[in-house]
Amino acid sequence: MIPLSVDEIASLVGGKVFGDGSVTVSAPAVIDGREARPGGLFVAFAGEHTDGHAYAPQAAEAGAVAVLGSRPTALPTVVVDDAQEALQRLAAHVITMLRDRLTVVAITGSQGKTSTKDMMEAVLSSAAPTVATSGSFNNELGVPLTMLRTEATTRFLVLEMGARHIGDIADLTALVAPDIAVVTNVGRAHLGEFGSREAIATAKSELVRGLAVGGSAVLHADDPRVLAMGDLTAGPVLAFGAGERASVRVGDLALDRLGRPSFTLQHEPPPERGGKVVVTLPLVGAHWALNAAAAAAAGLAAGVALEQAAAALSTTSISKWRMELRTLSNGAMLLDDSYNANPESTKAGLDALASIEAGRRIAVLGEMLELGETSRDAHHEIGTYAATKADLVVTVGGAAADIADGAGRRAVALSDNAAAIEWLRTHLAPGDAVLLKASRGARLDQVAAALL
């Protein structure tokens, strides 16, 4: 964060200072006192069950020097009526101060956006100092907090933007209009919230509508709903994918024995920044090739050469619980993709499992949340698909019963995570490969932690 005094922060957000207003905030803002850094700002929210102001001493002990909240604390405090609105106003102002030397890249999509964001961070940071969203902190708090991590030396800001309602992304682009907007796909994630894929497409298109003047859209050429968003901007459009409409195109895709992809990326027509490169990823699953193409396309839009992007992608690392391949003490392989799930991402995970050379392939699947009226059919569909990719389909929890029904004779239905841990400890053999996949609420990461 660029240094600002408490008095300056109060002036920017329309707040009142209690305490020493000359104190300078020089480190990022946080909403968890344990994460405060020396010189940082602690943003306190008074919730229904917990009052964040009570944690100001904890934040001070960690190094925070000031608080932004709705009542005074022992630290110098900027008191406002609405801490969230004040946080957003502060973030927007900081970016305005840095805008002439900062390129803002924003990404959204139904699945793969966090992993693609991680890849974009790798590509852009190979060229210049880059700040990116941590994990999937992509909402009305996560976006401004990420914005406030920028410094005078930052040249790229990568923002993941999520949505549960139409208008959510428009609100985020109102804080900062991106120079580059990346849309990965329109799938069935949060279908229960939106009601239809058309509504999901409308929500995702807000990122393209929110582009800065002259900004570039990076769109998935193989997804018609995404590619159509190119009509919403007068700026440049760079399409990625595997089909003929892609200007950054994946080709010659091959997988090694652990399902790790190698492929070519070709930019057509060949520009000064490179025409065709070979990429090898340290990640499991063919679907990573499209994510890499999106990241490389964003890099091209930001001025990063294709060859440089390929080199950065070859060593990229991804946020936890996303296709993490580990070898267990008994010689089995664990593919932990337990962070979240929807029908499209679950099929990608099953494809990845099937690509691994293994004695047996075991898919451990839990509930996919927020699918609305389509939930039962979607779970049955996944069970049927899983039976074509795995030797055994282990379902966890009663909500996953329709997966078991779809998997038929290959299904093993278990009651909860404890039962899944016990079953896996008993039945996994050396050379087996096991996939863990479910929505966040199923907490299959607990199963992974017990096996490691």
Which positions make up the binding site?
Answer: 109-115
What tokens does 311 get? 């080199």
Cβ atoms of residues 101 and 176 within 8 Å = no
Residues in the annotated binding site for ATP: 109-115
Whether the bond into 269 is cis, omega within 30 of 0: yes
- Of 252, 196, 243, 248, nearest in space to 224 by CA: 243
What tokens does 286 get? 């063919």
CA Rg value for the chain: 23
Strands 77-79, 16-18: parallel, antiparallel or unpaired by DSSP? Answer: antiparallel
Rounded to whole angstroms, what are the CA distances from 213 to 93, 216, 233?
A: 19, 9, 9
Cβ atoms of residues 90 and 150 within 8 Å = no
- Distant-in-sequence, close-in-space partners of 33: CB < 8 Å, separation ≥ 6: 42, 52, 55, 56, 58, 59, 62, 64
DSSP 8-class letter at 274: -
Buried b (16+ CB within 10 A) or exposed e, 375-404: beebbbbbbebbbebbebbbbbbebbbbbb
Sequence letter at residue 288: W
Rounded to whole angstroms, what are the CA distances from 116 to 176, 295, 409?
A: 20, 6, 36
The angle at the Cα of 257, spanning 255 to 260, to the nearest 5 degrees, equals 40
Helix (DSSP H) and strand (DSSP E) numbers for the chain: 16, 22
What tokens does 65 get? 């020097």
The secondary structure element, H or E, covering residue 129 is none
